[in-house]
Structure 1
Amino acid sequence: MAILSFSLAVVVLGAYALYKYWDICRRHRIPRGLKSLPGPKGYPIIGSVPEVPDKNGFIKFADWGKQFGPIYQCNLAGDNHVWISSDQIAKDLLSKKAAIYSDRPHIPSLIDDNRTSAQYLPLLSRNDGHTRQRKFANIIMRESEKALFHRYPELESKRMLNELLDEPERYNHILESFISRVTCRLAWGHSEGSDELKQRARELLIGVSPTGSLSNKLPFLMALPDWLSPPKAWERRRAATERTWFQTMQDQVVNDIQSGQTTPSWMRIFLDGRSKWGFKSDLEGAYAVGMHGIAGALTIAAPMQTFCLAMTHYPQFLPMLHEELDRVCGGRLPRSEDRPSLPFLRAIIRECIRWRPPVPTGIPHYLIEDDEYNGYHIPKGSTIHPLEWAISRDPEMYPDPEAFNPLRWIEPEYPTYQEPLTQFPTIINSTQFGYGRRTCQGQTVSDEDLLIGIGSIAWLFDIKQISEDSTVAAAMEPMKSEHKIGMNKKATVSNEELNAGLDNEKPIIQGPTMEEKFLAKFTYPGAESTHNEPPKKPKCNEPAYKPLEWGDITQKPEDPTLDYSILLIAKPIPFKFELKPRDTVRANQVRALFREGVENGDFPETREYWGANQGRDKPLGWSKV
């Protein structure tokens, strides 16, 4: 049986390789009068894959742009990828020719086709599903903005600051929890699902990242039976868990409406007018809301983590930020209305996104017909990358681009300066949010979360490099145990496995299945042991395992500010720094605000959905990420 399975896999792989070779030859026929885009030669079939490191591969693509020009192409495992290092070229193609450049490439690892399934709006092709969901997205974002996002960021900032006072070494986890809780409230009106939302986001991120699921590198694996393809079986379980959870969250809002206890949310907007959206089913509505939650769960946290990194290595700018916040906010936390009076805070945020963009390779587009640009042939079927890492490093627009320098946004001698300073700088419509018809619709949410989140941290804390003989300071006036409601007591850092519990509202599918029996014998990206033994308690600031997104942690870059994760969303690997309250008065004020919120019931505990150990040994539940 094993020999037969191996032989079948070899035959399928060989057939796939021959097909890719024929397809490459067919697509690279150059029309008369045009020339092929420059780029690295690569190797037969696999192309330039061996030349691109998993760690900070975007730097390699940017270096090739310096060598071959601002638009070039390369073969990656048989697919043609076009890399754009110029904002102007990106606008010329992705915005001015949006009719043919607005599709998304196929992601092999997903069970349901990302282009047509109407499940993943950011990954959908241009079709009816994309049109109706984008219309819905425009409305929910506009309504949220008009309501100042229901003050959810300001509410959750109090819990975030209190957690940072208690356990500053867990900053990475705490910042992601802040964003996830705000996003959960916006999506469904509740914060209890924040841990689950982070897990759904991480698992999907593995599925869509080139350096995540093995089936993105070897797509033929998705054509094999589940028992012969661990990545396919893992993805099937992930997709089923995601679908069940989205439906569970939708049902919760339905029950809230029926009981008269509903709070403002995107799901409520959908349910109140479900007939006018043109969705095919309530399930499509569940995905339309859920995907906006997933899209914001981790991406917005990355610039907040970058802020901590930048202030550690560029400490000269923190006193300037403190001065502005003290002058505008005085003895209270920042509010949404303070935005026009906080240009330096907005400059800090804008520079965090430029200096270390959360999606450095850009979200890829897909070309649906042959095109030409300045005498170069761009073949149909190419994946087009607006390479944000390079675009944000144009030395003419950003002098000394490798330096973190927020002054470039507020001083007139810089090319990036704009007036009025009550509006600019702003992250709205920045290149990081995409081009043409595929610009991110959650820009205003990101803008609000970052203003309140980063502003609140800077209002309360000093940030410094940690010296060898010092430790991260313990917060003053430690919180009494009865006030820890709503906090994840067992969590350590961003990617650890969080505490588990039991939810009896949803039936658990019975097993074991052949998939479970097979997967128990193997490990693979995202795999989880099926043993029932409880995980060992990790050391402080260390997860129970090294998360997939960290990559090879032995490969440390020379520049410590470039120690970034390897998946599509890049964020700093957790590092040590000193996070101390600026004074006792502010710290005690935050404590009091949090206690008041606890008494009002504002900070409910995290809810768990899949049974003991978060369902890791069940057909539905968490996988190791």
Structure 2
Amino acid sequence: MEILLGLLVSLVLTSAVLLVHLYKAIRAGNKRLPLPPGPPGLPIVGNLFDIPRTTPWIGYRDMSKKYGSLMCLRALGRTVIVIGDARTAVDLLEKRSVTYADRPVLNVVRLTGWDWNFVFARYGQRWRERRRMFWQYFRPDAVCNYRERQRDGVQRLLSGLLASPQKLSEHLRFSLTAIVLGSIYGMEIAEEDPHIATFEKGLESIEFLISSSLLEYVPAIVGRVPAWLPGTGVLRRVAEIREAVSSIRNTPWGYSKDASRTGDRQHCIAHSIIERLSHAEDEVNLAHAQEDIAKDAAGTAYAAAVDTQFATLQRFFVAMSLYPDVQRKAQAELEQVIGQNRMPEAEDRDRLPYVNALIKETLRWYPALPTGVARSALTDDEYNGYRIPKGATVILNAWAIMHDDKVYPDPERFSPERFLKDGAVDPEVMDPASLVFGIGRRICPGRYFADTTMFALIASVLHSFEISPRLDDDGRPVATRPHAATGIISRFEDWHCTVKPRSSLETEI
């Protein structure tokens, strides 16, 4: 018996040793696997000058046509992996979501003061705490709490367009800001509120992150160079940005705290959190830690919501001016379901398949975040015989996937019909929201709030207004040429159009 037991122990130990050696061999073999294909690089700098500076989603798409949907670039010792098709995105970012849940360490995020925004946070406890708090207030069963704020924002937009349709951009941004600040902080704002200009300056700095992307390939010591030296204007701009970015996190939160002290409690996220934290006064350190988490989560919600939804609604207005047949079909559906005596409500949505398809197509046509926010590989990985090294920056080219003619035929055309079958939304067609809001562990937790806000605004505008091309000096229509500007959040550069009440004279915008 003892002999058999000894043999069994020896067998187990031998098997364990063999497994360890096998694991090491596999690891060594993985390190010998090639990186995904990509353009040849130059000595020392590698592919630094191959990284597209403008409209990178198009540059990466064109390179992917030559090198494949999983492509690699190397720049000054850094590895960049670009994903250009839906299957690879799902295989890596969803099925292996933990491996790709990290973010790269970005110098410009730290320099501009955006490191409190958990969108850019490394994967870990700090990120989990903030995302968990965010999700409590933006999960599907919670977003119905903000309908009154959304109705108020809709009314502001419609009233503004009726009074001065030439100020479409200002009215749209104001209504979105009112919805978001009201839902999160309970803030009641006027169109000329001085806080808005400060917040806008901070939000504009997000574009600085992409325009200064090459700084990521320069040693971090650049951030410690004195801003007064000649040629360091970019650093002086950074210093100005930091103050505005700080105001996004601290000013509206301070407003909510002051309102709570005076008893002016609005129904909003911040007041709910402040009320909960007030019961932890006997645990001061815990309360302070939780308040920091709450300020980060609330500030992230505001920063992430306004610009992305503004960019998406730009697309909607341009598409309606270019595709009047689509607009007429949506308006006919609204008239049939809603009639003319009331505005669309959330409860009507299930009976509006064409409007729902139109919203999906708005997300697909020109994604507001065409290359998303970069990921970072937490560990070495292998995919289809290629090695993806730990620490590699991973970019999802959402724009390229949304314009893949194998998934969406004739992708340049705005066509809600691609999402419909037999008068209903076709579940077999890939929903753009499954990618344009991110994928895997880094999917946007505010996507349901964004979706309900877009429905409220788009359905109400279609119900009340006619959108058409702008007119030149001779009164002839001038079609807009859709062109998305370079940026993490990409806006249309030209989106002038004519907006008029469906029963009134047109007014040029």
TM range (shorter): 0.7 to 0.9
| TM-score, with structure 2 as normaliser | 0.83
C-alpha separation in 2, matches of 1:426 and 1:328: 24
The separation in 2 between residues aligned to 1:349 and 1:367, in whole angstroms, is: 33
User: Are 2:181 and 1:184 aligned?
Assistant: yes
CA positional deviation for 1:35: 2.0
**Residue 435 of structure 1: aligned partner:** 439
> RMSD of the TM alignment (CA)?
3.1
Percentage of matched positions with identical amino acids: 25
Question: Could you tell me which amino acid in structure 2 is paired with residue 563 of structure 1?
Answer: H
Q: Which residue of 1 aligns with 2:224?
A: 223
Higher Cα Rg, which structure: 2
Query: Residues 142, 278 of structure 1: CA spacing in aligned structure 2 closer, same or farther, 3 A cutoff?
Result: farther
Kept in 2, the 8 Å contact 1:359–1:568? The answer is yes
Q: C-alpha separation between the residues in 2 aligned to 1:30 and 1:61?
A: 29
Q: 1:303 aligns with which of 312, 320, 325?
A: 312
Q: Which runs of 5+ in 2 are unaligned?
A: 1-27, 190-194
Structure 1 unmatched runs, 5+: 1-28, 474-558, 588-625
Please give the alpha-carbon distance, in whole angstroms, between the structure 2 residues aligned to 1:168 and 1:43: 52
Q: Is the 8 A contact 2:80 2:394 kept in 1?
A: yes
**Partner residue, 1:342:** 352
Aligned to 1:201: 203
> Which amino acid counterpart does residue 432 of structure 1 have in structure 2?
V
Find the counterpart in structure 1 of residue 164 from structure 2: 167
Contact 1:85 1:387 in 2 (8 A): yes
Q: Which moved more, 1:280-289 or 1:397-406?
A: 280-289
How far has the Cα of 1:246 moved from its partner? 2.9
Which one of 376, 382, 399 corresponds to residue 372 of structure 1?
382
Q: How does 1:283-294 map to 2 (within 5 A)?
A: 283-294=292-303
Change (3 A) 1:375 1:334: same
Counterpart contact for 1:206–1:213, Cα < 8 Å? no
Which residue, 459, 463, 466 being the options, matches 2:463? Answer: 459
Q: Output the CA distance in 1 between the equivalents of 2:113 and 2:87.
A: 29
Task: Report the counterpart of residue 402 of structure 1 in structure 2.
Answer: 412
Query: Match of 1:357?
Result: 367
**Contact 2:165–2:499 (Cα < 8 Å) also in 1:** yes
Which shifted more, 343-352 or 168-177? 168-177
Q: Is the 8 A contact 1:466 1:578 kept in 2?
A: yes
Higher helix share: 2
- The 3-state SS of whatever aligns with 1:404 is coil
- SS of match in other structure, 1:360: coil
Q: How many residues align?
A: 464
How is 1:134-533 mapped onto 2 (pairs within 5 angstroms)? Answer: 134-142=131-139, 145=142, 147-192=144-189, 193-203=195-205, 205-209=206-210, 211-212=211-212, 215-216=215-216, 218=218, 219-228=220-229, 229-274=232-277, 275=280, 280=289, 282-331=291-340, 332-411=342-421, 417-418=426-427, 429-469=433-473
Q: Which residue of 2 aligns with 1:565?
A: 485
Q: 1:531 maps to what in 2?
A: none
| Stretch moving more, 563-572 or 187-196 | 187-196
Residue 409 of structure 1 contacts residue 417 of structure 1 at CA under 8 Å; is this kept in 2? Answer: yes
Could you list the per-position Cα deviations for residues 30-66 of structure 1 after superposition, in whole angstroms to 9, with x for gaps in the alignment?
Answer: 8565222101113334444434553322111011111
Q: Say which SS state the counterpart of residue 74 (structure 1) adopts.
A: strand
Equivalent pair of 1:107/1:114 in contact (CA under 8 Å): no
**Which residue identity lines up with residue 169 of structure 1 in the other structure?**
Q
SS of the equivalent of 1:380 reads coil
Q: CA deviation at 1:425?
A: 9.5
Q: Residues 213 and 231 of structure 1 are in contact (CA less than 8 Å); yes or no, is this contact kept in structure 2?
A: no
The residue that corresponds to 1:602 in the other structure is: none
TM-score of the aligned structures, taking structure 1 as reference length: 0.68
Counterpart of 2:10 in structure 1 is none
The answer to whether the 8 Å contact 1:95/1:437 transfers is yes
Give 1:243's aligned amino acid.
S
Trace 1:19-98 onto structure 2 (pairs within 5 A): 31=30, 34-76=33-75, 78-98=77-97
Q: Report Cα offsets for 1:180-230 as digits up to 9, x if no partner.
A: 211111121114244443332112x13432x24774464542132333344
Task: State the 1:169 CA deviation.
Answer: 2.7
**Structure 1 counterpart of 2:151, which letter?**
E
CA displacement, residues 518-555 of structure 1 (integer Å, 9 cap, x when unaligned): xxxxxxxxxxxxxxxxxxxxxxxxxxxxxxxxxxxxxx
Deviation of the 1:408 alpha carbon = 0.6
Report the more deviating stretch, 71-80 or 182-191.
71-80
- Helix, strand or coil for the counterpart of 1:273? helix
Q: Distance in 2 between matches of 1:32 and 1:138?
A: 38
Separation of aligned partners in 2, 1:230 and 1:59? 30
Letter of the 1:241 partner, please give it: A
Sort the Cα spacing of 1:431 and 1:195 in 2 relative to 1 into closer, same or farther, 3 A. same
Q: For residues 38 and 245 of structure 1, do their structure 2 counterparts lie closer, same or farther at Cα, with a shift above 3 Å needed?
A: closer
Contact 1:111 1:232 in 2 (8 A): no
In the other structure, the counterpart of 2:104 is 105
For the residues of structure 2 that align with 1:369 and 1:329, how far apart are their CA atoms? 53
Give the secondary structure class of the aligned counterpart of 1:94. helix
Aligned AA (2:254):
D
